[in-house]
Structure 1
Amino acid sequence: MMNLNVVNLVGRVGGEPEVKYFESGSVKCNLTLAVNRRTSKSDQPDWFNLELWGKTAEIAGNYVRKGSLIGVQGSLKIETWSDRTTGTNRSKPVIKVDRLDLLGSKKDTDASAVDNYSGQGTEF
């Protein structure tokens, strides 16, 4: 039996990227992504929490802004923690991003700033 955990999303970034540098040298970036449903334009979008690491996190921090159109591929994980105040167990789904595509038009993205930029999007 094959196990598969692959998530593909295309949407607009909901806020400025939060980039964190660790003493170990690793880099983490958190983003929120709003994805419209196919069924109706008037529906509220679905919101996803994205977690990016390493070079992909740095690219996101440098080139992604609130409102940017991006595509991501990654896997779903469920983060769990204990609420500090109540002690209640909490959880939230997070997409751990392996691949980031910048999908904006040339005027959305500074073409000179991104290597090999094409109107089709840039893969990192």
Structure 2
Amino acid sequence: MQQNPLVGRLTRDPELRYTPQNQAVTTFSLAVNRQFKNANGDREADFINCVIWRQQAENLANWAKKGALIGITGRIQTRNYENQQGQRVYVTEVVADSFQMLESRQERGNVPTPPPSATQNNQKQSSPADSHDPFANSEPMNIQDDDLPF
């Protein structure tokens, strides 16, 4: 079964919690652009509730923040429960199997440019933060404004 990825921006910081069995679970919402424009020529976005489990949940909560462009693969799930008023509530969400960061923190503007004293012979000195950033040396993606949900 082939899974189609969803690509969008986080609408809020991911929320990491742990089950009573100590399983990590992170909930988040993605703003995903529609493939077409509305009658006014504007792009609309769908806001999709998502959940991811275990190590991937911890990774997402640690690396991704509101506004981050990510891609996920997973499946759609519908669950239901009874609320405090005794009404049946249905929830449809994407249960993500994996995610991928699609831009670096530098591209998002979250990492300050190092001062000139931090460079020698046009080479940036490495810092502890660099060794943990898998996107520090990645090439920029060509993303048009029309591709973004905001």
Does TM-score exceed 0.5, indicating one fold? yes
Q: Which residue pairs with 1:102 in the alignment?
A: 101
Q: Are 2:108 and 1:113 equivalent residues in the alignment?
A: no
**Kept after mapping to 2: 8 A contact 1:7/1:95:** no
AA matched with 1:39? F
Letter in 1 for 2:30: L
Which shows bigger deviation, 72-81 or 33-42?
A: 33-42
TM-score, structure 1 as length reference: 0.80
Q: Could you list the runs of 5+ residues in structure 2 that have no partner in the other structure? A: 112-129, 142-150
**Runs (5+) with no aligned partner, structure 1:** none
Of 12, 36, 39, the residue aligned with 1:39 is 36
Letter in 2 for 1:97: A
C-alpha distance in structure 2 between counterparts of 1:23 and 1:39, whole Å: 43
Give the alignment's Cα RMSD to 1 decimal.
2.4
Equivalence for 1:20 = 17
**Contact 1:106–1:119 under 8 Å retained in 2:** no
Instruction: Tell me how far apart the structure 2 counterparts of residues 5 and 75 of structure 1 sit (CA, whole Å).
Output: 10
Judging by fraction of residues, say which structure has more helix: 2
Name the amino acid aligned to 2:24: V
Identity level (%): 26
Cα distance change of structure 1 residues 89 and 20 upon mapping to structure 2, 3 Å threshold? same
Instruction: Give the aligned length.
Output: 117
1:10–1:18 Cα change, 3 Å: same
Secondary structure of the 1:67 match is: coil
Provide runs of 4+ in structure 1 moved above 6 Å: none
TM-score normalised per structure 2: 0.67
The one-letter code sitting in structure 2 at the alignment partner of 1:95 is: V
Note if contact 2:104-2:135 (Cα within 8 Å) is conserved in structure 1: no
